[in-house]
Amino acid sequence: AGEMAVASVLASLRQAVNREAGVTNLKGGAQDVMTTEVVGLYGEMAFARWANLYPDLRVHLRAGSADALWRGCRVDVKATRAVAGHLWVDERSVQKGNADVYVLAHVNYATVTLVGWCYAHDIPRLGVALPIRKVYRVPPDTLRPMQDVPVNISPET
C-alpha cells in the first residue's frame, strides 16, 4: 500500500511538470491520464525492484527519457492494465534511440508482472507498425522472458 501511495503522488507531480512544459501523454487507451501515469509508475517501480535498483523518484521533465539505467542499458518500462496487453512503442522513440531495452509490465492493482523484454533494435522486426498512430505494437509472446536477460546485456547485442 505504501508503494502505491508513493506512485500516486509521484504520478500527480510528474504529470503537472510534464503538462506545464507542454509534454503530451501518449496514452493509448480510454483511461484518464492520471491512471496512465500511475500504472506507468507501478511498472517502473516493479522493474527497479526486480533489477535490484533504486527507482527514479525524481520529479523532473522526462520526455523521451528511459526509466532506468541497468547493466549499461537505458531501459524503458511500458506498463498496461490489459491482461493480454502488447508492448506499445512510439516510432520516434525507436528512431531517436531513447532506450536500448524495452520491458512490458502488466499491472493488476498492486500486483505487477514483468511480462518480457526486447532490444530496441528488434522492435521493428517483432512489432506491427501502426502508421495512423505512429507506433509499433509488439505482441507479448514475441518478447524474451525476464529470466533470459543475459548477465552481460549490452545495447549492441
pLDDT digits (tens, 9 = 90+) for 45-101: 999 999 999 888 877 766 667 889 998 899 999 999 998 899 999 998 899 999 999
Full set of structural domains in the chain with CATH? 2-148 (3.40.600)
CA 82, CA 96: separation in Å to the nearest integer?
Answer: 27
- Candidates 72, 152, 150; CA nearest to 117 is 150
Each residue of 95-151: pLDDT tens digit? 999 999 999 999 998 899 999 999 999 999 998 888 787 899 999 999 999 987 766
Contacts of 79 (CB under 8 A, 6+ apart): 39, 40, 42, 43, 44, 104, 105, 106, 107, 112
pTM of the model: 0.85
Q: Could you tell me the CA-to-CA distances from 29 to 33, 80, 85, 88, 119 in Å, in that order?
A: 9, 10, 11, 11, 24
Partnered with residue 77 across adjacent β-strands are: 103
Rounded Cα distance between 4 and 47, Å, is: 14
* Cell digits of residue 145: 522472458
The pLDDT tens digits of the residues spanning 18-46 come to 777 776 665 566 667 778 888 988 999 99
Phi first, then psi, for residue 108 (nearest 5°) are -130, 90
From CA 144, how far away is CA 26, in angstroms rounded?
25
**DSSP of 87-150, one letter per residue?**
EEEEHHHHHHT--SEEEEEEEETTEEEEEEEEEGGGHHHHSEEETTTTEEEE-GGGSBPGGG--
